[in-house]
Amino acid sequence: MAKIILSVKKEINFKKLTSQIKEFDLLELRIDQYPFSNEEIINLIKNLNKKIILKLPSDENLINKYEIHFSDEKILIDLDLPFFEKIRCLKKLPLKRLIISHHNFYSSHDLLKKTYEIKKYKDSFLKIIGTYNSEKDLEAIENIYQLVKNKKRTISFLMGDNIGTFTRFYSIKLGNPFFYTHFEDATAPGQISLDEIKKNRYDPRKINSKTDFYSLIGSPIKHSLSPPIHNFIFELLSKNRFYTKIEMEDLHKETFSLIKKYFKGISITSPLKTKCLKFIDKNKNAFESINTIKFFNGLSYGYNTDILGFKKALLKLLKGEKIKEALVIGTGGSAKAIIRALKELNIKIKIYGRNREKVKWLSEEYNVGIATKNGKYDYQLIINCTTAGSTSQMDEIPLPEEMISGKYLFDLIYSPPKTKLMRISERKSLKTTNGLNMLIYQAIEQEKIWGLNIENDEEMFQNVKKTILNHLNYLE
C-alpha cells in the first residue's frame, strides 16, 4: 500500500499540519528550498510521530549541519545521485533510509540510463523523476519498473500537469511506494494538494496492480464533481477502480491513443463532446455528441448519457407538470443532447445563441425554431447549455435579462451551485434547478456502461447526492 507524503518548502503552519495529520503518512521537508532548523526537525519528530524525509541540496556543509539526524530511525535522507556519489563514504548515511534521486525537469530521455546507474544501490530507495511530453514518457516509466528488482523501493513518475499528474497515480499501480502531495504550495509541477485528494475522494493508498483507471476530460474542469461522484460509487460497490480528471481544451489522435491505452473508460465534457466522435470506433447511440467512452477489447465505444440524465432531472423539477415549449441556450454538444431529450418528450423547442451561424445550422439540422431578443417569449422552460455563469465566468449570463421569462429554469451548471442566471430567474418567480441532479443521474448511467451492476437507480442517486452534499459542504 502506497504511503502519502506531505511535502513542504516553507515555514510550517503547525496548527494546520496537525489538523490534517490523518491525511498523510510521512512528512517531507524540502531543505533544498527552505532552511529548516534542527530544532524544528526535532520538534516535528517529537510531536508528529511520523517518519520525516529530509530533501537535502547538493551542499556538503549542510550534510555536516544535518548529520545529527542520520542515525534517527524516523529520518529518511533524500540526496541527488551525483552528490551522493561524492559523499557516500560518510558512514553515518544509512543506506536503507536513503533516497537516491535523479530529476529531469525537461523530458524523460535519460531516465533509463540513470536507472542503470542508481539501481546498484539496491538497499536504498531509488527516485527517478522525469517530465511528461508524450506517450513515450509513460513507456519510460513502465520500463523503469520492469528493470528494477525491488519495485517497492522505486519511486518513478512524471512531473507536469494533467497527464503528468495521472502518472503519479499510475506509478503506484506499477509499484511506487510513495505519493507526494502538499497543503500550501506545490513543490513540483503536477503535484496536487491534500485538500484536492480529500475533495475528489482520491485515495492513492487503495491503488494496486489490478486497479482500473477512469477519467474526465475537457476544460475547464477544476471544479468538477465527477471525480468524487464516481469514486464514491466505486467505494460503495467495493470496486477496484480509480477516477481522476485530465484538463484539455483539444484532443488529438496521439492523446486519444494514450487515453485508450491507460484507461478503461472516460467521461467527456465541453468542449470535446463532438471532437471525440472522429476518434471512436463505434457510436452506440448514433448521436452528434458523446459524453462517455468505454474501451473494450481494443475498441472504443461512444455513448451519450446526458439525455437520460437530463430527462430524469427535469422530471424532478417539473413534478408532473407538462411543458409545451422550451428555450435552449447554446449550440455545443450539451445543447444537442438536450434538444434530443426535449424532442423525445414532445416539447417544442427554440434555440438561442450568440453565434448566428451555429444557431442557424442547429435550427436546420434539428428542425427547431430560433429565438431572438426582439421575438415573442412564449416558452415555459429555459435550459442553459453554455458555460456562462460557471465558476470561471460567474458574472456572466448567457442571454439578455429581458428574455428570462416563463415558469422554469434548468441551468446545466452546478459549480457554483447557484448561478447569476438562476438568481435573476428566481427574482422573476421562476422555479430553478442546477445541473447536479443531471450530473449524478448521467454518472450512474455511465457506470452501467462501464460494467457496474446498479440495481436501483433512485437509491443510488439518493446515496450519491447525500454523500456529495455532506462531503463537499455543497449547498444547492
Residue type for position 199: K
Start and end residues for every CATH 3.40.50.10860 domain found in the chain? 211-304+436-476
Domain 319-434: top CATH class: alpha beta
Cα separation, 443 vs 467, in Å, equals 15
From residue 373, alpha-carbon distances to 77, 218, 325, 346, 399 in Å are 67, 31, 17, 25, 8
pLDDT value, residue 211: 98
**211-304+436-476 CATH fold:** Rossmann fold (3.40.50)
Cα separation, 393 vs 386, in Å, equals 11
Q: How far is CA 343 from the centre of its chain?
A: 33
Please, what is the angle between helix 253-262 and helix 163-174, to 10°? 30
pLDDT in tens, the chain (476 residues): 999 999 999 988 888 899 999 999 999 999 999 999 999 999 999 999 999 999 999 988 888 889 889 889 999 999 999 998 887 666 677 889 999 999 999 999 999 999 999 999 989 999 999 999 998 999 999 999 999 999 999 999 999 999 999 999 999 999 999 999 998 899 999 999 999 999 999 999 999 999 999 999 999 999 899 999 999 999 999 999 999 999 999 999 999 999 999 999 999 998 999 999 999 999 988 788 899 999 999 999 999 999 999 999 999 999 999 999 999 999 998 999 999 999 999 999 999 998 999 999 999 999 999 999 887 788 999 999 999 999 888 899 999 999 999 999 999 999 899 999 999 999 999 999 999 999 999 999 999 999 999 999 999 999 999 998 887 776 55
pLDDT value, residue 151: 93
Q: Find out whether 362 and 331 touch, Cβ atoms under 8 Å.
A: yes
pLDDT value, residue 118: 93
Cα separation, 442 vs 309, in Å, equals 4
Write out pLDDT tens, residues 190-208: 999 999 999 999 999 999 9
CA 429, 432, 433 angle in degrees (round to 5)?
170
| 3-208 belongs to CATH 3.30.70.3400 | no
Q: Is 239 a catalytic residue?
A: no
Residue found under cell 485538500: 195
Complete edge-to-edge strand list for the sheet that includes strand 282-283: 241-247, 212-218, 265-268, 292-296, 299-303, 282-283
pLDDT value, residue 293: 97
Start and end residues for every CATH 3.20.20.70 domain found in the chain? 3-208
Pairing of strands 282-283, 265-268: unpaired
CB-count exposure of residue 238 (10 Å: 0-12, 13-18, 19+): exposed
Start and end residues for every CATH 3.40.50.720 domain found in the chain? 319-434
pLDDT value, residue 347: 96
Cα separation, 239 vs 222, in Å, equals 25
Write out pLDDT tens, residues 221-243: 998 999 999 999 999 999 999 99
Write out pLDDT tens, residues 463-476: 999 998 887 776 55
pLDDT value, residue 89: 62
In this structure, how many other beta carbons lie within 10 angstroms of the beta carbon of residue 195?
A: 14
Which residues does 180 contact at the CB level (< 8 Å), separation at least 6?
5, 7, 28, 168, 187, 188, 191
Continuous segment of H or E residues that includes residue 159: strand 158-159
Nearest to 133 by CA among 190, 63, 199: 190
Single out the catalytic residue among 273, 294, 336, 465: 273
Helix/strand/coil percentages in the chain, nearest 5: 40, 20, 40
Residue type for position 382: I
Cα separation, 441 vs 458, in Å, equals 9
Residue type for position 231: N
Nearest to 159 by CA among 184, 199, 121, 128: 128
Residue type for position 163: I
Phi, psi values for residue 354, rounded to 5° = -85, -20
Residue found under cell 522505486: 154
